[in-house]
């Protein structure tokens, strides 16, 4: 679905931020989750459609090892998280993606698994990449216990006491996933096979459903072990504290190329987010109820910031700046400005002048919070058929191809690639880790294995060749003579119809920060507490403060 | 032993194999899509694509490119590559929509050509039919049909191919699949080739990549 087709507020277009403002890494690396984020749209759907929940199997021994099945029942279909809990020796504990054993492993089954399915999955799911699942499964994932928190929580609960709040808040999760595979990976069902189902057609719904159920499993598991240990004196975690526990995740470079390799999807995510902001900015007045709702979310953002920790110098500085920004915002809110006309637009424009990118993007998330009725429908246009972006219009005159670059790709043309720092990096897939990595072009071997992710550089190269072509010749003729520019021509033509499809920055520059790409993607998932551990990988928290299945959904019979 | 390759795996692996065999990225992308499209209809796209790419490996693929000035198209090296030629025809789909019939001389693995052109049929929501020997393969938006002698489908080279828009209103669709059954040995072969586009580890890459620690907290 195209957002433009269902636009109830044509005026919003005047308030939309242009791609050259939005599609910059520094800004994308400052994104926060919004109410359009995929975790939140998933839970909204489950609640609105009155899904049911049941833990259909709990075969876990006193040590905490065994299998369990958590099922959610929708109007038409059911989905089951199949969970396995294992005895993992300490020396095998690693959250690197290349690990070979984990505390817990999972698969999201399409329906309700039979005993034979569970046996089949037990033969394969614990092996993760080395196993093989089938088109009856929608995801494959694993998680390790938090060494910092797990034992503490077990000890406390077994002794009849609640966990220490500070320790709990410092970590925020009991288990941390290290990979969640979906869509046709390792034998799982192809995305095409579920694309027609409304409940999972939006991006990453199956994967994020599995993570939500994984969180419930992790809490049930820790309480189960504590009960086995402490017997009658053991207690469960108090519900309020329980909700503060999410699921952790470590994400590295493996995820970074996704946004670059899915330009139609990136465009639609950005369009939806920008349209949501534009609709709110276009509102002539703010009703008192909306202002109150905004303030409630503002207070929550302040609290969340107080619980957001990082030791990485970049993030430490960003958090300090965000803290100052929130204070400035508090002063702004306390003033009279929200009662003037177009108050949200005024607020946003003030923020552009007064706040850092962190603060501006925090405000973007907050502004759309009170307006679910106005913006939530936009989640329906956040998926994409990448095939449509694959097509090359061979009849397009070369002059038009050139013109698109001139008008839409100045960000690429303005970079001087003769300067070595502007092409210092290259993206490649590591034979050892089977994952994308970033290399130093002038200090490491392997540049001949470069992946086609140097988008700006490639566009500038094609532009240089196009200058000597006659404008009336066709793209088809050009590509027959220059097949090396085919992947770039595809992207350039795509930009003419999908203006937010490209990150408008140099992805091979010496100072490029891969964590900016990761944070952008993870914010669309709905992640919080971004905690970079280097410029290449980041730790996050998912579903913190979200309701649990048994809280959100009625019990299935 | 039989193995089930998902469509996503088919596309990704064959794209990598095409790159490993020397095709530029944009053409390698076409190869992945074509192999996936055929596998979706239970046709041996992965195996055929692998066979063709192996023959192409190490050669200057420009010798397999069409000289498009006059019909029928020919390659300077004698045999047209179905991926490069299929992409060139897809790029000329506007001409096919205007009724132009393209004719080709000697062509390798014409089934791959039909599938590559077929990607454009999907985008235009039309039908493009590729014909050779005694068989015609029609690709439309969400389907594919075969008429004539199916024994000719897998010919490794033919002397003449034609390609044009068709007006089949309800072509007979083949059953589609989401997981393609394939010999496990061939999968291993595909993976071996795909692996060639991965950079061997170096000390520097080990030191600099991702989490530098065993992180356990």
> Is B63 near chain A, with CB under 8 Å?
no
Span of A48-52, A148-152, A307-311, A423-427 with lowest mean pLDDT: A307-311
Closest residue to B211, CB basis, from A96, A486, A488: A96
Each domain of chain A, given as residue ranges in start order, spans 3-31+261-380, 38-252+545-555, 386-497
Residue B140 lies in a domain: yes
ipTM over 0.85: yes
For B143, phi then psi, to 5°, come to -160, 180
Cis peptide before B72, with omega less than 30 degrees from 0? yes
Chain-chain contact of A485 with B206 (C-beta, under 8 angstroms): no
**Res A190: pLDDT:** 87
Spatial strand order of the sheet with B127-132 comes to B102-104, B161-166, B127-132, B135-140, B143-148
Chain-chain contact of B210 with A252 (C-beta, under 8 angstroms): yes
Q: Chain A interface, mutation test: which of B139, B209, B216, most A Cβ atoms within 10 Å?
A: B209
Q: Identify all chain A residues contacting B208, using CB atoms and an 8 Å cutoff.
A: 437-440, 536
**Res A26: pLDDT:** 97
Rounded CA separation A347/A336 (Å): 11
Closest residue to A431, CB basis, from B94, B123, B199: B199
Whole-angstrom CA distances from A83 to A29, A64, A210, A518 are 33, 12, 10, 27
Chain-chain contact of B210 with A253 (C-beta, under 8 angstroms): yes
> Is B101 near chain A, with CB under 8 Å?
no
**Res B213: pLDDT:** 42
Measured between CA atoms, how close is B104 to chain A, in angstroms?
16
**Res A192: pLDDT:** 83
Torsion-angle region of residue A492: left (phi > 0), alpha (psi -120 to 50) or beta? alpha
Chain-chain contact of B198 with A449 (C-beta, under 8 angstroms): yes
Q: Average pLDDT of A331-340?
A: 92
Q: Identify all chain B residues contacting A452, using CB atoms and an 8 Å cutoff.
A: 25
- Please identify every stretch of chain B with a pLDDT value under 70, giving residue numbers as ranges: 1, 169-172, 203-217
**Res B69: pLDDT:** 75
Closest residue to A452, CB basis, from B25, B204, B212: B25
Measured between CA atoms, how close is A140 to chain B, in angstroms?
14
Three-class secondary structure of residue A529 per DSSP: strand
> pLDDT tens digits, residue range B74-131?
999 999 999 999 999 999 999 999 999 999 999 999 999 999 999 999 888 899 999 9
State which residue of chain A sits closest to B196, comparing Cα positions.
Answer: A431
Rounded CA separation B207/B15 (Å): 29
A374: Cβ–Cβ under 8 A, 6 or more apart, which residues? A8, A9, A276, A279, A280
Measured between CA atoms, how close is A262 to chain B, in angstroms?
13
Cα end-to-end distance, chain A, whole Å: 36
**Res A298: pLDDT:** 97
Residue B38 lies in a domain: yes
Total count of residues recorded for chain A: 557
Contacts 24+ apart (CB under 8 A), A352-358: A354/A328, A355/A325, A355/A328, A355/A329, A356/A30, A356/A318, A356/A321, A356/A322, A356/A325, A357/A26, A357/A27, A357/A30, A358/A30, A358/A318, A358/A321, A358/A322, A358/A325
Measured between CA atoms, how close is B25 to chain A, in angstroms?
6
Q: Which domain range does residue B103 map to?
A: 2-198
Chain-chain contact of A184 with B4 (C-beta, under 8 angstroms): no
Whole-angstrom CA distances from A19 to A118, A279, A325, A453 are 48, 17, 24, 19
Residue B87 lies in a domain: yes
**Res A386: pLDDT:** 86
How many Cβ atoms sit within 10 Å of the Cβ of residue B81? 31
**Res B205: pLDDT:** 60
Measured between CA atoms, how close is B13 to chain A, in angstroms?
12
Greater confidence (A387 vs A93) lies with A387
Q: What's the number of domains chain B is made of? A: 1
Closest residue to A252, CB basis, from B24, B201, B211: B211
Residue B76 lies in a domain: yes
Q: Identify all chain B residues contacting A433, using CB atoms and an 8 Å cutoff.
A: 201, 209-210
Q: Identify all chain A residues contacting B119, using CB atoms and an 8 Å cutoff.
A: 387, 390-391
Rounded CA separation A220/B160 (Å): 67
Closest residue to B201, CB basis, from A432, A438, A488: A432
Determine which helix (DSSP H) or strand (DSSP E) holds A413, and give its type and residue range: helix A410-413
Span of A5-19, A307-321, B175-189 with lowest mean pLDDT: A5-19
Q: Identify all chain B residues contacting A430, using CB atoms and an 8 Å cutoff.
A: 198-199, 201, 205, 209
DSSP state of A533: S
Q: Identify all chain B residues contacting A429, using CB atoms and an 8 Å cutoff.
A: 197-199
**Res A3: pLDDT:** 62
Residue B74 lies in a domain: yes
Torsion sign, CA atoms A222, A227, A233, A238: positive
Whole-angstrom CA distances from A22 to A30, A178, A460, B99 are 11, 29, 21, 43
Rounded CA separation A29/A314 (Å): 11
Q: Chain A interface, mutation test: which of B3, B4, B6, B90, most A Cβ atoms within 10 Å?
A: B6
Q: pTM of the full predicted structure?
A: 0.95
């Amino acid at each position: 679905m195209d957002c433009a087709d269902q636009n109830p507020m044509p005026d919003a277009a005047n308030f939309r931020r242009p791609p050259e403002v939005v599609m910059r890494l520094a800004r994308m690396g400052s994104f926060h989750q919004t109410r359009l984020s995929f975790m939140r749209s998933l839970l909204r759907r489950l609640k609105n459609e009155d899904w049911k929940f049941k833990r259909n199997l709990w075969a876990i021994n006193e040590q905490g090892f065994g299998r369990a099945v958590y099922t959610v029942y929708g109007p038409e279909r059911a989905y089951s998280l199949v969970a396995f809990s294992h005895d993992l020796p300490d020396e095998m504990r690693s959250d690197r993606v290349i690990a070979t054993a984990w505390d817990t492993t999972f698969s999201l089954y399409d329906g309700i698994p039979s005993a034979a399915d569970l046996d089949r999955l037990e033969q394969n799911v614990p092996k993760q990449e080395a196993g093989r699942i089938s088109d009856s499964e929608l995801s494959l994932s694993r998680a390790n216990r938090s060494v910092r928190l797990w034992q503490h929580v077990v000890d406390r609960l077994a002794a009849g006491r609640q966990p220490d709040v500070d320790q709990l808040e410092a970590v925020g999760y009991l288990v941390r996933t290290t990979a969640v595979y979906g869509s046709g990976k390792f034998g799982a069902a192809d995305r095409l096979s579920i694309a027609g189902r409304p409940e999972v057609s939006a991006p990453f719904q199956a994967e994020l459903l599995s993570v939500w159920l994984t969180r419930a499993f992790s809490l049930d598991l820790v309480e189960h072990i504590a009960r086995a240990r402490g017997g009658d004196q053991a207690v469960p975690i108090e519900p309020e504290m329980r909700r503060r526990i999410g699921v952790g995740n470590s994400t590295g470079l493996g995820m970074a190329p996704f946004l670059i390799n899915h330009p139609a999807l990136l465009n639609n995510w950005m369009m939806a987010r920008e349209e949501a902001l534009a609709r709110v900015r276009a509102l002539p007045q703010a009703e008192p109820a909306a202002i109150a709702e905004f303030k409630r979310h503002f207070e929550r953002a302040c609290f969340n910031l107080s619980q957001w920790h990082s030791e990485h110098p970049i993030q430490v500085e960003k958090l300090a700046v965000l803290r100052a920004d929130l204070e400035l915002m508090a002063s702004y809110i306390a003033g009279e400005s929200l009662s003037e006309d177009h108050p949200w637009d005024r607020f946003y424009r003030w923020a552009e002048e007064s706040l850092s990118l962190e603060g501006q993007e925090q405000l973007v998330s907050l502004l759309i919070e009170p307006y679910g009725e106005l913006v939530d429908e936009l989640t329906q246009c956040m998926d994409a058929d990448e095939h449509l972006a694959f097509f090359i219009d061979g009849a397009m005159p070369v002059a038009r191809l050139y013109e698109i670059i001139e008008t839409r790709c100045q960000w690429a043309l303005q970079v001087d690639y003769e300067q070595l720092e502007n092409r210092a990096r290259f993206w490649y897939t590591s034979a050892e880790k089977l994952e994308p990595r970033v290399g130093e072009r002038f200090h490491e071997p392997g540049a001949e294995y470069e992946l086609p992710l140097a988008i700006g550089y490639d566009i500038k190269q094609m532009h240089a060749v196009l200058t000597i072509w006659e404008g009336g010749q066709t793209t088809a003729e050009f590509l027959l003579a220059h097949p090396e520019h085919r992947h770039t021509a595809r992207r350039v033509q795509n930009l003419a119809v999908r203006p937010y499809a490209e990150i408008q920055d140099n992805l091979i520059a010496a100072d490029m920060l891969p964590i900016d790409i990761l944070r952008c993607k993870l914010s669309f998932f709905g992640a919080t507490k971004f905690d970079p551990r280097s410029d290449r990988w980041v730790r996050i928290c998912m579903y913190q403060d979200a309701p649990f299945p048994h809280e959100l959904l009625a019990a299935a019979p | 032993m039989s193995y089930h390759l998902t469509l996503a795996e088919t596309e990704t692996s064959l794209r990598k194999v095409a790159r490993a065999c020397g095709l530029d990225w944009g053409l390698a992308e076409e190869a992945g899509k074509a192999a996936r499209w055929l596998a979706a209809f239970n046709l041996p796209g992965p195996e055929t694509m692998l066979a063709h790419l192996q023959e192409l490996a190490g050669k200057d693929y420009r010798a397999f490119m069409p000289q498009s000035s006059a019909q029928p198209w020919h390659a300077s090296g004698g045999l047209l590559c179905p991926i490069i030629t299929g992409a060139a025809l897809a790029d000329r789909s506007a001409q096919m929509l205007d009724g132009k019939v393209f004719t080709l001389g000697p062509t390798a693995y014409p089934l791959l050509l039909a599938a590559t052109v077929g990607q454009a049929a999907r985008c235009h929501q039309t039908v493009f039919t590729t014909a050779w020997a005694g068989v015609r393969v029609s690709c439309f938006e969400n389907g594919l049909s075969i008429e004539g002698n199916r024994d000719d489908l897998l010919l490794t080279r033919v002397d003449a191919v034609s390609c044009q828009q068709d007006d089949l209103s309800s072509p007979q669709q083949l059953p589609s699949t989401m997981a393609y059954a394939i010999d496990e040995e061939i999968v291993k072969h595909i993976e071996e080739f795909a692996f060639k586009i991965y950079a061997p580890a170096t000390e520097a890459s080990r030191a600099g990549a991702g989490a530098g620690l065993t992180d356990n907290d």
